[in-house]
Structure 1
Amino acid sequence: MEKSRNTKVLIDSLIPLGMIFGSAIGVIFGMFFNPSFLVFSISIGAGIGLLVGVIAFAFYSKRGKKS
């Protein structure tokens, strides 16, 4: 029971975690460009993280239903 609960928590956390890690990667890449580009790099990183989180959520949700 505990394993399935932890798995559900992980699946539910994939989208916000993707956005957080995407924003962090955007900040790191933004440091190498013009400082005015930093705002755009954060939002682009969050958007890419959101996309990756949604794809991972869909993948793991479908995999969980099969087993």
Structure 2
Amino acid sequence: MKKSKDTKVLIDSLIPLGMIFGCAIGVVFGIFFLDFLLLTIVIGAGIGYLFGVIAYVMFSKKEKS
């Protein structure tokens, strides 16, 4: 039962983790392109959100099977 609960917590954390890593990547790109710092952070969070949703869908389908 504990393994199932830990897996559920990981699956539920994929979207926020994707956004955090996306923001971090956006900050790194923003260091090089100072004029577009806010834009790179927002785009990084959006891309991280997209990857988080894709990973969430893939892992939740695998969990149900």
Q: Same fold (TM over 0.5)?
A: yes
Instruction: State the one-letter code of the partner of 1:7.
Output: T
Residue segments in structure 2 that go unaligned for 5+ positions in a row: none
**In structure 2, distance between residues paired with 1:42 and 1:29:** 8
**In structure 2, distance between residues paired with 1:37 and 1:21:** 18
Residue segments in structure 1 that go unaligned for 5+ positions in a row: none
Shift of 1:26: 0.4
- RMSD after superposition: 0.5
Identity %: 68
Q: TM-score, normalised by structure 1?
A: 0.94
Shift of 1:11: 0.3
Matched, 1:11 2:8: no
How many residue pairs align between the two structures?
65
- The structure that is helix-richer by fraction is 2
**In structure 1, distance between residues paired with 2:37 and 2:53:** 24
Shift of 1:13: 0.4
**In structure 1, distance between residues paired with 2:2 and 2:30:** 40
In the alignment, which residue of structure 2 is the partner of 1:56?
55
